[in-house]
Amino acid sequence: MAAGALLLQNGGGNDDKAGRDDKPAVSTEQPAATSQQPTPTPTPSPTPSRTPDATPAGTPDATVPAGYRKVADPMGFSFVIPDVWSRQGVANGSQITYAGSTGAEHYLIGVIPNAGYTSYDNVLNMEKHAKEDKKKSDYQRIDLRRNTFQGRPGAIWEYTYRDEGGRTMHGIDQSYVAEDGTEYTIFLVGQQNVWADMKKTYRTGLESWRLTG
């Protein structure tokens, strides 16, 4: 597989005309002298302005979008996935799946040491198998070409197909060969009707991808 602040100002303050008769009283008598000093009116203390709340401890990493979390895999990489997804296991010793509860939308990460081939050659071979897969019908290529990923030679492959349940599925694979000769394939597949969300998930995953081994 994002706030504004409302500034409230106190308009308080004593009205200096409150309780005062604006018409002076008329008198022919002089006021009697008195030795009593007038009681001074206390000056009200200013109301302190409210300071912003402190940032709570445990604030999520600001680089991880809301609804996502970063995972570090023991196979030597880290990236960001939807926070409700989890690692499902490893197949063939090299293919790691991260998926949600339904499994329809998922990542399949391949880690192949000493690959000995280019990623472009590999995706051409994978496309051949996809066309022959009896569980996939109506295969349609969207993109397949060489590219560069994180400064390394790679390939991008994107396509759609119809699964056994008749659902149109959308897949995209960014592959590349790291400096040590290991090939990584970052493959995401999901239903076509949720692909707008999956595009964000994939972009977030690729932008956060790091090798940790």
* Residue 25 counted as domain residue: no
Which residues in 155-168 are b (16+ Cβ under 10 Å) and which e?
Answer: bbbbbbbbeeeeee
* Residue 50 counted as domain residue: no
pLDDT given for residue 18 in this prediction: 36
State pTM to two decimals.
Answer: 0.71
Residue 188 lies in domain: 68-211
* Percent over 90 (pLDDT), the chain: 69
* Residue 38 counted as domain residue: no
Amino acid in the structure at residue 135: K
With bands split at pLDDT 50, 70 and 90, how would you rate the model's confidence at 213? confident
* Residue 181 counted as domain residue: yes
Q: In 3-state terms, what secondary structure has residue 111?
A: strand
* Residue 96 counted as domain residue: yes
* Residue 178 counted as domain residue: yes
> Is residue 93 over pLDDT 60?
yes
Number of separate domains in the chain: 1
* Residue 4 counted as domain residue: no
* Residue 27 counted as domain residue: no
What number of other Cβ atoms are within 10 A of residue 40's Cβ?
A: 6
What strand order describes the sheet that includes 183-191? Answer: 86-91, 95-99, 106-112, 183-191, 168-177, 152-162, 137-149
Reported in sequence order, the residue ranges of the chain that DSSP labels E, i.e. its strands, are: 68-73, 77-82, 86-91, 95-99, 106-112, 137-149, 152-162, 168-177, 183-191, 210-211
Residue-wise pLDDT for 113-138, tens only, equals 999 999 999 999 999 999 999 999 99
> Is residue 176 over pLDDT 80?
yes
Mean pLDDT check: name the lowest of 36-40, 177-181, 182-186: 36-40
Closest CA to 197 of 68, 54, 28: 68
Residue-wise pLDDT for 26-65, tens only, equals 344 444 444 444 555 555 444 433 333 332 333 456 689 9
Q: What does the alpha-carbon distance between residue 161 and residue 167 come to, in Å, rounded to a whole number?
A: 8
CATH of residue 144's domain is: 3.40.1000.10
> Is residue 175 over pLDDT 50?
yes
